Amino acid sequence: MTALPAPAAPPPVPAPRRLAPLRRAVRASPLITAGGAIALLIVLAALAAPLLAPYPADAGSATHPEIALHAPSLRHLFGTDQVGRDVFSRVLYGARVSPLVALFVLLIACAVGIPLGVAAGYFGGVLDEIIMRVTDVFLAFPPLLLALAFATVLPASLTSLTIAIAITWWPWYTRLVRGQAASVAGRPYVEACRALGIQRWRILLRHVLPNSVTPVIVQVSLDVGGVILTASALSFLGLGAQDPTPDWGLMVAEGENYFTTQWWLVTYPGLAILLTALAFNLLGDGLRDVLDPRWVPGVRER
Amino acid sequence: MIRYAVRRAALALVVVAGVVILTFVIADVVPGDPAATWAGPHASAAQIVRARQYLGLDQPLPVRIGKYFGGIVTGNWGISIHTHRPVLSDIGTAAPATLELVIAALVIAVAVGVPLGLAAARWPGSLLDHGIRAGSVLGVSMPVFWLALILQLIFAQRLRLLPVAGQYDPNLIFSHPLATRTQMPVVDSLISGNWAVLGSALRHLILPALVVAAYPAGVVARMTRAQLLDTLGETHVQMVRSLGFSERRVLGTFAMKLAWNPVAAVLALVFAYSLVNTFLVESIFDWPGLGSYAAASVSSLDTPAIVGVTLFIAVIYVASNLVVDVVQAALDPRIRLR
C-alpha cells in the first residue's frame, strides 16, 4: 500500500489548493474532461427524464401492443419494444435505475468498509487480523461471481441486487483504507494528539479518518462504472430489476429474442450501459492520475 | 523461499476454508427456506417437513457446517436441481469448454494488448497513446453480453462471415467423427489430425473469444504501457539506450523483458474474471461450458449448482493468486521480504 506524501500540516487545507489539482487535470487530460462531461449529461438526463422523455408513461406499466416493434423513426427515436413502449423514453429513465443502484452500493460499501478499515489500520493487533482475514475471504471471489451467488438466493428485486453487490464491494474499501490508516497512525501528528491526551475516538474521527480517505475518492469514482456493469450483468441474467422497470440490462435481455430482426431493442440500452461505464471510468482514471501519481494499473491487487 | 511458499499456501488454505463457510452461508442461511424450494411450490406441509429432514436442515447449525465441509472435501457438492446430477460432475463436464474459450481469449488479449501497450509506451503523450488508452478503457467498460449480441448480429447474422453459435459444425459429427479426449474440440481435433473439425472449431471460437478478450486486452495494454514507462527509468535500460540501440530494441527487447513478469501476473488474475464473464457470453453463443451451466442455474434458481460453480471458481482464483505470488517471489527476492 503506497502512502500518500506526508502532509506538512493536518487539515483543514485552504480551499483554493484543493481545487487546483482538478483544474490541472482538466487541462492535462482531454479524456477526463470528456468523461466528466458525459457523466454530467447522464446525471442530468436522470434528473430531467420526465421532462425529456417523449412518452414518460412508457417507463412504467403502459403498453401499446398496436405499435409493437416499430423501427426507429422521428416519433420513436429508438423505436418501440415488444409491447409497444418507446425505447428512447425507457433508456432515458434507465439512467435512474442502475446508476442509482451504483450510488447506493457505493454508499453502503463506504459506510461499512471505511470504518472497518480505519479501525483495523489504527488499532492493529488481533482486531486487524480478524478484519483483514474476513476481507481476504470476500476478495477471494471475482466481484460479479459473489454478487451473482447472493442475488440468486435473495428474492429478485432492485433492493436485493443492491445488497448483493454491496456485500461484495465493501472489502475493497476496508483494504484500501486500512493501509492508509496504518501509515497515518504512525505519523508524528497523531502521536502528538495521543501525547496531548486527546480521546481515542476523537483522534480517529478528526485526524486518522480524514487523512485516510483520499484514495477512496478515486476508487469510488472508478468503481461507479464497475458497479453499473455488474448490476447490468445481473439484471441481464434476470436477477434484480423486473419488467416493467426500465433497467438497461433487463432491456437488453428482453430484446435478445427479437434481436436478429429488431436490432434497436438491444443496441440502445447496451450503448447506454457502455457510455455510462466509460464516462465514469475515464473520470476516475483521470482523477487517479492527478491525485495518486504513483499508481500502477492492472486488476486491483490482492 | 520455501518458507515463504509454505506460509502463503497456509494462508491460502485459511482463505479457502473461509470461502467454504461463505458459500455455506449463501446456500443454507440466506435463502428463506431451502426445504420449501426443494419440495417445490405446490408441496404440502408434510412434504416440506420430509424435505427438511432429507436435506438435514433440522439439525443444529454447527452439525450442518461440519457435514457441508465434509461433503465439499469428499467431492459431494450436492445435486443440481435443474440437471438432477451431482454438481461436481456437471462442473467437470462443463469446465473444458470454458477453459478452451478463456485460454483463447487470453491469447488474443496478449496478442492485442502487448503490442498496443508497446506502441503507447513508445510515444507517450501522443495522439496514438491517448487513443490506445481510450481504447483500453473502452474494453474495460464494455458490457460483454451486449458486445456478444452485437458482434453476433453483425458478423454471423448479417455478414454471415462466421458461425452463429456452437463449438463446431454439427454436420461434421458424421462425416468427420471427433475422438474426444479433452472435451476441447480444438485440442482434440489437433491431436487426432481432424482438420475439418479443427477449422470449423476455430471459426466457431473466434466471436466468443473476442468478446471474452475485451476486458483482459484492455487490462494487458494498460499494464504493459505502465510497466514499460516504469522500467525506462531504470539505469540499465538507460545504459542500453545510451549505447545507441534503436528505441525499438530498447523497448521491445530490454524494457519488455522486465515488463513480462507483471503482465503475466495480471493475466493470472484476470483469468478468474474471464471465467465469470463467460456466464454472460456462453449462453448467447450456445457454448456448452460453465457459463451456460451457471446462467441456466441462475434462471432455474438452482442454488446447489450456483454455489458449486461459485466455490469452484473461487478456489481456482485463490490457487492462481497463490501460484502468482510464489512464482513472483521466486523471480524477485524483494517480494519475500514484504
C-alpha angle with apex A171: A169 to A175, nearest 5 degrees? Answer: 135
C-beta atoms of B18 and A134 within 8 A: yes
Q: Which residues span the domain enclosing A180? A: 98-294
Interchain CB contact of A249 with B (< 8 Å)? yes
Strand partners, B86: B79
- What pLDDT, on the 0 to 100 scale, is given for residue A7? 44
- What pLDDT, on the 0 to 100 scale, is given for residue B31? 66
From B219, which residue of chain A is nearest by alpha-carbon distance? A298
- Rounded Cα gap, residues B162 and B149, in angstroms: 13
- Rounded Cα gap, residues A65 and A85, in angstroms: 8
- What pLDDT, on the 0 to 100 scale, is given for residue A14? 46
Percent of chain B clearing pLDDT 70 (strictly above): 96
From A260, which residue of chain B is nearest by alpha-carbon distance? B153
- What pLDDT, on the 0 to 100 scale, is given for residue A17? 54
From B270, which residue of chain A is nearest by alpha-carbon distance? A299
Rounded to an integer, the average pLDDT of B15-28 is: 89
A residues 162..221 contacting B (CB < 8 A): none
In a domain, residue A126? The reply is yes
In a domain, residue A115? The reply is yes
What residues of chain A lie within 8 A of the CB of B284, using their CB?
Answer: 256
- Rounded Cα gap, residues B305 and B77, in angstroms: 8
Residue A16: is the preceding peptide bond cis (ω within 30°)? Answer: no
Q: Calculate Rg over the CA atoms of chain A.
A: 22
From A146, which residue of chain B is nearest by alpha-carbon distance? B310
Looking up cell 522500467, which residue turns up? B231
Of A233, A259, A299, the CB nearest to B149: A259
Rounded to an integer, the average pLDDT of B154-180 is: 86
Q: Is the pLDDT of residue B253 over 60?
A: yes
Q: Return the SS3 of B86.
A: strand
Of A233, A239, A277, the CB nearest to B145: A233
In a domain, residue A29? The reply is no
One pLDDT digit (tens) per residue for chain A, 302 residues: 444 444 444 444 444 555 666 666 666 677 788 888 999 999 999 999 999 989 888 888 888 888 888 889 888 899 998 888 999 999 999 999 999 999 999 999 999 999 999 999 999 899 999 999 999 999 999 999 999 999 988 888 999 999 999 999 999 999 999 988 988 888 888 888 888 888 888 888 888 888 888 888 888 988 999 999 999 999 999 998 888 999 999 999 999 988 888 899 999 999 999 999 999 998 888 777 776 655 444 434 33
- Rounded Cα gap, residues A98 and A101, in angstroms: 5
Q: What is the dihedral of CA A145, A146, A152, A157, to 10 degrees?
A: -100
- What pLDDT, on the 0 to 100 scale, is given for residue A2? 44
What residues of chain B lie within 8 A of the CB of A136, using their CB?
Answer: 11, 14-15, 18
Q: Which range is most confident: A265-269, B178-182, B300-304?
A: A265-269
What residues of chain B lie within 8 A of the CB of A141, using their CB?
Answer: 19, 310, 313-314, 317
- Rounded Cα gap, residues A117 and B155, in angstroms: 48
Of A31, A256, A296, the CB nearest to B226: A296
Of B142, B143, B314, the CB nearest to A141: B314
Residues with Cβ within 8 Å of A80's Cβ and at least 6 positions away in sequence, in order, are A64, A67, A68, A69, A70, A86, A87
C-beta atoms of A270 and B150 within 8 A: yes
Q: How many residues are recorded in chain A?
A: 302
Q: How many residues are recorded in chain B?
A: 338
pLDDT greater at residue B283 or residue A18: B283
In a domain, residue A111? The reply is yes
Q: Return the SS3 of B79.
A: strand
What residues of chain A lie within 8 A of the CB of B30, using their CB?
Answer: 150, 153-154
- What pLDDT, on the 0 to 100 scale, is given for residue B282? 94
In a domain, residue A114? The reply is yes
Of B27, B222, B317, the CB nearest to A140: B317
Nearest chain A CA: its distance from B219 CA (Å): 6
C-beta atoms of B310 and A298 within 8 A: no
Q: Which range is most confident: A33-37, B248-252, B312-316?
A: B312-316
pLDDT greater at residue A41 or residue B329: A41
* CA B55 to chain CA centroid, nearest Å: 32
B91-138 per-position pLDDT tens digit:
999 999 999 999 999 999 999 999 999 999 888 888 898 889 888 899
C-beta atoms of B153 and A260 within 8 A: yes
C-alpha angle with apex A201: A198 to A203, nearest 5 degrees? Answer: 50
- What pLDDT, on the 0 to 100 scale, is given for residue A12? 46
B227-236 per-position pLDDT tens digit:
888 887 778 8
Residues with Cβ within 8 Å of A255's Cβ and at least 6 positions away in sequence, in order, are A81, A82, A262, A265, A266, A269
Phi/psi zone of residue B194: left (φ > 0), alpha (ψ -120 to 50 degrees), beta? beta
B184-239 per-position pLDDT tens digit:
888 888 888 888 889 899 999 999 999 999 999 999 998 999 888 888 777 888 88
Residues with Cβ within 8 Å of B10's Cβ and at least 6 positions away in sequence, in order, are none
In a domain, residue A159? The reply is yes
Of B11, B133, B140, the CB nearest to A31: B133
What residues of chain B lie within 8 A of the CB of A238, using their CB?
Answer: 298-299
What residues of chain B lie within 8 A of the CB of A28, using their CB?
Answer: none
C-alpha angle with apex B45: B42 to B46, nearest 5 degrees? Answer: 110
- Rounded Cα gap, residues A299 and B272, in angstroms: 11
- Write the DSSP string, A55-110: -GGGGTT---GGGTTPPP-SSSTT-B-TTS-BHHHHHHHHTTTHHHHHHHHHHHHH
Range in A90-94, A175-179, B22-26, B330-334 with the lowest mean pLDDT: B330-334
Q: How many domains does chain A have?
A: 1
- What pLDDT, on the 0 to 100 scale, is given for residue A267? 95
The CA-atom distances, in angstroms, between A99 and each of A104, A227, A244, B21, B138 are 9, 8, 17, 32, 18
In a domain, residue A279? The reply is yes
Complex prediction ipTM: 0.87
Half-sphere exposure of A288 (CA within 13 A, CB side): 18
A residues 82..101 contacting B (CB < 8 A): none
CATH number at residue A253: 1.10.3720.10
- Rounded Cα gap, residues A108 and A115, in angstroms: 11
- What pLDDT, on the 0 to 100 scale, is given for residue A159? 94
- What pLDDT, on the 0 to 100 scale, is given for residue A271? 96
Q: Is the pLDDT of residue B291 over 70?
A: yes
Domains of chain B, CATH where assigned: 1-82+300-338 (no CATH), 94-299 (1.10.3720.10)
Which amino acid, A214? T
B31-88 per-position pLDDT tens digit:
666 667 667 777 788 888 887 787 777 778 888 888 888 889 898 898 888 888 999 9
A11-18 CB contacts, 8 Å cutoff, 24+ apart = A11/A210, A11/A211
What residues of chain B lie within 8 A of the CB of A252, using their CB?
Answer: 143, 145-146, 149
